[in-house]
Amino acid sequence: MKNHEFTLQNEHGLHARPAGLFVQVCNKYQSAVNLYKADQKYNGKSMLGILKMAASKGDVIRVEVDGVDESEAIDEIKSLIRGNFGE
Protein backbone atom coordinates (compact mmCIF):
# COMPACT_ATOMS: atom_id res chain seq x y z
CA MET A 1 0.00 0.00 0.00
CA LYS A 2 1.26 3.48 -0.93
CA ASN A 3 0.13 6.75 0.68
CA HIS A 4 0.57 10.41 -0.18
CA GLU A 5 -0.73 13.37 1.81
CA PHE A 6 -1.05 16.82 0.31
CA THR A 7 -2.65 20.20 0.89
CA LEU A 8 -4.97 21.16 -1.93
CA GLN A 9 -3.65 24.29 -3.69
CA ASN A 10 -6.27 24.72 -6.43
CA GLU A 11 -8.06 28.05 -6.10
CA HIS A 12 -11.49 26.42 -6.52
CA GLY A 13 -10.67 23.06 -4.91
CA LEU A 14 -11.39 19.75 -6.58
CA HIS A 15 -14.14 21.03 -8.86
CA ALA A 16 -15.33 19.08 -11.92
CA ARG A 17 -12.31 19.48 -14.22
CA PRO A 18 -9.53 18.52 -11.78
CA ALA A 19 -11.73 15.81 -10.28
CA GLY A 20 -12.27 14.41 -13.79
CA LEU A 21 -8.52 14.38 -14.43
CA PHE A 22 -7.95 12.62 -11.12
CA VAL A 23 -10.55 9.94 -11.89
CA GLN A 24 -9.12 9.48 -15.40
CA VAL A 25 -5.63 8.85 -14.01
CA CYS A 26 -6.89 6.48 -11.30
CA ASN A 27 -8.95 4.41 -13.71
CA LYS A 28 -5.84 3.63 -15.79
CA TYR A 29 -4.69 1.33 -12.99
CA GLN A 30 -5.99 -1.88 -11.43
CA SER A 31 -5.14 -0.76 -7.90
CA ALA A 32 -7.80 0.56 -5.56
CA VAL A 33 -7.51 4.31 -4.93
CA ASN A 34 -9.09 5.98 -1.93
CA LEU A 35 -9.00 9.58 -0.77
CA TYR A 36 -9.39 10.66 2.83
CA LYS A 37 -10.48 14.10 3.98
CA ALA A 38 -10.56 14.24 7.76
CA ASP A 39 -11.96 10.82 8.69
CA GLN A 40 -14.12 10.40 5.58
CA LYS A 41 -13.15 7.91 2.85
CA TYR A 42 -13.92 8.51 -0.84
CA ASN A 43 -13.43 6.34 -3.92
CA GLY A 44 -10.74 7.90 -6.11
CA LYS A 45 -12.15 6.18 -9.20
CA SER A 46 -15.58 7.77 -8.78
CA MET A 47 -16.30 11.27 -10.07
CA LEU A 48 -19.32 11.50 -7.77
CA GLY A 49 -17.27 10.35 -4.81
CA ILE A 50 -14.64 13.02 -5.35
CA LEU A 51 -17.20 15.79 -5.92
CA LYS A 52 -19.06 14.63 -2.80
CA MET A 53 -15.84 15.24 -0.84
CA ALA A 54 -16.28 18.99 -1.51
CA ALA A 55 -12.54 19.59 -1.16
CA SER A 56 -11.55 23.24 -1.00
CA LYS A 57 -8.24 25.05 -1.24
CA GLY A 58 -6.21 24.37 1.89
CA ASP A 59 -7.83 21.02 2.70
CA VAL A 60 -5.43 18.22 3.62
CA ILE A 61 -6.13 15.08 1.60
CA ARG A 62 -4.53 11.67 1.88
CA VAL A 63 -4.41 9.37 -1.14
CA GLU A 64 -4.10 5.64 -0.51
CA VAL A 65 -3.32 3.26 -3.38
CA ASP A 66 -3.37 -0.52 -2.93
CA GLY A 67 -2.82 -3.17 -5.59
CA VAL A 68 -0.53 -4.72 -8.17
CA ASP A 69 0.38 -1.45 -9.89
CA GLU A 70 0.28 0.84 -6.84
CA SER A 71 3.78 2.27 -7.37
CA GLU A 72 3.03 3.42 -10.91
CA ALA A 73 -0.38 4.73 -9.89
CA ILE A 74 0.88 6.77 -6.93
CA ASP A 75 3.69 8.23 -9.05
CA GLU A 76 1.25 9.48 -11.68
CA ILE A 77 -1.15 10.77 -9.04
CA LYS A 78 1.68 12.70 -7.35
CA SER A 79 2.67 14.15 -10.71
CA LEU A 80 -0.91 15.32 -11.32
CA ILE A 81 -1.00 16.93 -7.87
CA ARG A 82 2.42 18.59 -8.28
CA GLY A 83 1.20 19.98 -11.61
CA ASN A 84 -1.75 21.51 -9.73
CA PHE A 85 -4.16 19.48 -11.85
CA GLY A 86 -3.13 21.42 -14.94
CA GLU A 87 -4.39 24.75 -13.59
Which residues are the active-site residues? Answer: 15
Give the torsion sign (CA, 76, 32, 52, 39). negative
Rounded distance between C-alpha atoms, residue 15 and residue 4, angstroms: 20
Alpha-carbon distances, residue 60 vs 5, 6, 27, 56 (angstroms): 7, 6, 22, 9
